[in-house]
Structures are given as C-alpha cells and as structure tokens.
C-alpha cells in the first residue's frame, strides 16, 4: 500500500490567491487582510489532514467476474469499508485500472472511477461500475487507488493498493449460419462411407456433469447426486462423426493494417463460435490448434472445461508475421481423429497443394491423406461471412461464474 499527497490544480490556484492576500496583508500591514489570510490558509492546511483522514483505515475490495466476452457488459463491485471508529470517510474516489496484459492491443488501459461521498465510521458501502471491453485479451484489474480531496478539492491524498486480479475477455462469439451446417453435413456425408460405428454409445467415461433434460437415467451417478443434492450424470467421451478439428492460422504482415487486425479478430471469433457451438451441443471430440512459435493445441471432448481452456487461449492469441502454418498443420493433424472434420481458418489464402511449403505434410503418408479433406477458409476474404455473423450482445456460452473477490 503506497500513500502520497499531491496539491491539485485547484490547490495551486488557491495558493496563488492566498499568496496575493498574504502579500497584500504584509506589504500594507492590513490586519484584517491577515485575518482573511488565516481564514484562507486554514482550510488548505486542514484539507491535508482531512484528505488523509478520509482514506486512512479504509479497505477497498473489488468483486469482479473472472471472465467475460468481448462486447459483453460487465459489472464490477467495489466495496469501501471504513474501519475508523468514528470519523467518516468523505469524498473517497476509488479508481480501478483495467490494463490489457495480453491480447491484440497489449498495454491499452482504461480507468474506472467510483465516488463514495460519505462512509460513516465502521460502515461499508458498495458501489459498482460497468462497461464493455471491446477487445478480447487478458486484463489486469488494478491497482486500486483510493483517494480523497475532501473538503475543497485542493489536496489529494492517495492510497494505492497493489493487489490485482485478472479478467479474461473471450473473443466475440457470433452465430453460425445454415451454410455452416450445410458445410459440416457435406463434409460428414463425404466421409461417411469410410466410417464405421464402433464401441459403446456412451464411449469412455470422461467425468461428471449436471443433469440436463433428455439425459438417460442410466447415466445418473447416484452416489454423487446424493452427495451434491442434485442430479449428476456421467459424461462419456464419445467417438462420433461430429468430431471436429479447427486449425487457426493467425498470420499478419510485419506492418499490419487495421484490416489485417480485423481479419485476425474475425478468424478468432469464428473459431470461438464454432467451439462454443460444439461444446454447447456436446457429444463430439474437438481439437483446436493455432499457430505460434510452438503450435498451441487443445483437444478433448466437447465440454465447458475444454471451451474455457480454448477460449482463454483464443483470448490471448497473437498473430505472427512468420509462417508457422506448416509446423502447426503437422503437429495438429497428427492428433486429429481419423473421422473428424478438419477446418483450417486462415487470415490469408492457403494452398495445401504447395508441396514445397507443406513438405512434411506431403512426405508423411499418415498426414498426406488429410490434405484433401481439410476445409480451408480464408478470413481475409468474404469466406466467413457466409458461415457466421457477430452478435453485439454475445456471451461466452459458459455458465455465469460468481464474481471472484479480490483486493
């Protein structure tokens, strides 16, 4: 906790006026002007003490959600507890810095401001601020600053609380269109002849989740349900035809234009929307891979946990001017299930038949068979417009999580 006291701009103006009065009083030795000087300098000196007193022994607590979607309205509660026995805290302004640590514009900041006009001794008061973060990314909330300029706004005493919390802002989620469903079905039917159903319907046991309408009663895990007081069902890793791999090629030139940046955001949002849709449906195996110095791959059964991990990765995904696509393809396709549909979303036009560029893909017989099955979508063109559209009031698709309390 760091403290500091500053003279505000109004304070400097005030001091100039007081200085004039003092100079007049001393030069002309007008005693009543000296009285006026005392009456002017008194509030200034008391401001120093009162401002200090207002932020002394106060505890500022922030309650913020852990994650939100870009463009979604978020509300953050700030509680000010005045631990002083009697003295009230007046005109305490709490400022919270929202700083983007990772994302498309790292370093961008915004400040939220809350005013607590009066908090009596031994009392707490909660106020909220709300807003929408337009850009995905990992944000640092804090440090919190509590300051007071009471009573006249001449001096500002400030206490800074260094503890911070993190807010992950997921990419904007849109809606998939019928064209996308058609595309999926085409891909599915195209590969159907090669498929054969195997294993149990339920597949391998994956974990437990809340009961949803339509779940078979035989999936209910009675022991856990009894313990939790609500119905819990077993979740199975299913091996079905809807298995999907989304490969994301985030490339941008060395000097990207706003159009390039927008293309990247669109590609990420599209990928996030697909994942969100798949996870909402459940029952499939998903793989998300994206380009980086070292390819980042997340894979697993469609679930909220996977969606959380995937969206978090997408929230902080960066674009590169190097060509990491071949390496990513090689690493990702090696993990894709044989019957899965593979969609490559790139921020540029990609020609997989380029044997020189994708030399590993074409040299490895196991991977080579994928070359003809990968659906390539170019985000820089209008390819994506046909498959999804962005919604301003989109949500993450995740369950609302209770706000985490941080200081």
Q: Segment 84-123, which members bind another protein (CB under 8 A)? A: 88, 90-91, 93, 96, 98-101, 103-105, 107-118, 120
Residue list 130-149, contact with another protein (CB under 8 A): 130-135, 137, 143, 149
Q: How far is the CB of 108 from another protein (least distance, A)?
A: 4
Binding mask 151-170 for another protein (x = CB under 8 A): xxx------x----------
Interatomic CA distance for residues 42 and 37, integer angstroms? 8
User: Rg (Cα) of the chain, in Å, rounded?
Assistant: 30
Q: Which is nearer to another protein, 130 or 385 (CB)?
A: 130
The stretch near another protein (CB under 8 A) out of 38-46, 57-65, 344-352, 357-365 is 38-46
User: Which residue lies nearer to another protein by CB, 137 or 174?
Assistant: 137
**Which of 150, 236, 270, 358 forms a contact with another protein (CB under 8 A)?**
150
Query: Can you tell me the distance from the alpha carbon of 195 to that of 84, in angstroms, rounded to the nearest whole number?
Result: 72
Nearer to another protein, 32 or 194 (CB): 32
Residue 238 and residue 222: Cα distance in Å, rounded? 22
End-to-end CA distance of the chain: 11
Q: Which long-range contacts does 195-198 make (Cβ < 8 Å, 24+ apart)?
A: 195/241, 195/339, 198/239
For position 83 contacting another protein by CB under 8 A, the verdict is: no
Cα separation, 188 vs 193, whole angstroms: 9
Q: Contact region for another protein (CB under 8 A) — 39-47, 179-187, 280-288, 345-353?
A: 39-47
Residues between 13 and 32 that touch another protein (CB under 8 A): 17, 21, 24-32
- Strand, coil or helix: what is 355? coil
User: Which residues from 204-223 bind another protein, rule CB under 8 A?
Assistant: none
| Smallest distance, another protein to C-beta of residue 314, A | 16
Residue nearer to another protein on the CB measure, 2 or 369: 2
128 forms beta bridges with 77
Of 260-319, binders to another protein (CB under 8 A) are none
Taking CB under 8 A as the criterion, which residues in 58-77 touch another protein? 71, 73, 75-76
Size, binding site for another protein by CB under 8 A: 73
**Candidate list 7, 40, 371, 375; residue touching another protein; CB under 8 A:** 40
Window contacting another protein (CB under 8 A); options: 127-135, 187-195, 312-320, 341-349: 127-135
> How far lies 103's CA from each of 99, 159, 168, 169, 340, in Å?
11, 29, 10, 9, 30
Q: Are 69 and 314 in contact (CB under 8 A)?
A: no
Is residue 154 packed enough to be buried (19+ CB in 10 Å), middle (13-18) or exposed (0-12)? buried
Binding region for another protein (CB under 8 A) out of 45-53, 299-307, 323-331, 362-370: 45-53
Backbone angles phi, psi at 275, to 5 degrees: -65, -40
The nearer residue to another protein, 28 or 192, going by C-beta atoms, is 28
Nearer to another protein, 73 or 181 (CB): 73
CB 202 within 8 A of CB 240: no
Which one of residues 15, 43, 188, 191 is an interface residue with another protein (CB under 8 A)?
A: 43
Closest CA relative to residue 5, chosen from 121, 161, 160:
160
Q: Is the dihedral of CA 18, 24, 26, 27 positive or negative?
A: positive
Q: Which is nearer to another protein, 4 or 228 (CB)?
A: 4
* Whole-angstrom distance, CA of residue 18 vs CA of residue 7: 14
Residue of 7, 15, 41, 81 that binds another protein (CB under 8 A): 41
């Amino acid at each position: 906790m760091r403290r500091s006291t500053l003279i505000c701009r109004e304070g400097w103006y005030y001091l100039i006026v007081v200085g004039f009065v003092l100079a007049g009083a001393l030069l002309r030795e007008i005693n009543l002007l000296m009285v006026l000087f005392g009456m002017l300098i008194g509030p200034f000196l008391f401001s120093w003490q009162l401002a200090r007193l207002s932020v002394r022994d106060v505890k500022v607590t922030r309650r913020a959600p852990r994650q939100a979607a870009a463009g979604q309205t978020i509300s953050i509660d700030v509680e000010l507890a005045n631990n002083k026995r009697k003295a009230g805290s007046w005109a305490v302004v709490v400022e919270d810095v929202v700083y983007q640590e990772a994302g498309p514009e790292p370093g961008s900041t915004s400040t939220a401001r809350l005013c607590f006009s009066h908090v009596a001794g031994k009392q707490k008061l909660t106020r909220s601020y709300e807003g929408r973060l337009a850009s995905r990314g990992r944000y640092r909330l804090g440090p919190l600053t509590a300051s007071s300029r009471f009573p006249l706004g001449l001096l500002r005493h400030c206490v800074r609380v260094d503890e911070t919390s993190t807010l992950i802002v997921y990419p904007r989620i849109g809606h998939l269109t019928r064209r996308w469903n058609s595309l999926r079905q085409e891909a599915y039917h195209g590969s159907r002849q090669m498929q054969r159903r195997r294993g149990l319907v339920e597949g391998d046991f994956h974990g437990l989740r809340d009961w949803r309408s339509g779940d078979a009663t035989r999936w209910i895990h009675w022991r856990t349900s009894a313990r939790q007081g609500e119905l819990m069902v077993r979740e199975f890793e299913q091996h079905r035809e809807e298995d999907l791999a989304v490969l994301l090629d985030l490339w941008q030139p060395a000097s990207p234009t706003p159009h390039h940046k927008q293309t990247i955001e669109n590609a990420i949002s599209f990928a996030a929307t697909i994942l969100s849709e798949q996870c909402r449906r459940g029952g499939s195996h998903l793989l998300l891979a994206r380009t980086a110095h070292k390819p980042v791959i997340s894979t697993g059964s469609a679930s909220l946990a996977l969606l959380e991990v995937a969206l978090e990765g997408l929230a902080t995904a960066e674009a590169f001017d190097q060509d990491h696509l071949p390496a990513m393809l090689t690493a990702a396709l090696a993990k894709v299930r044989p019957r899965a549909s593979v969609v490559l979303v790139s921020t540029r036009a990609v020609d997989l038949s380029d044997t020189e560029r994708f030399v590993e893909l074409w040299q490895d017989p196991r991977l080579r068979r994928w070359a003809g099955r990968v659906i390539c979508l170019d985000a820089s063109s209008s390819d994506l417009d046909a498959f999804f559209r962005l919604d301003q009031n989109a949500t993450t698709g995740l369950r609302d999580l209770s706000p985490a309390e941080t200081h």
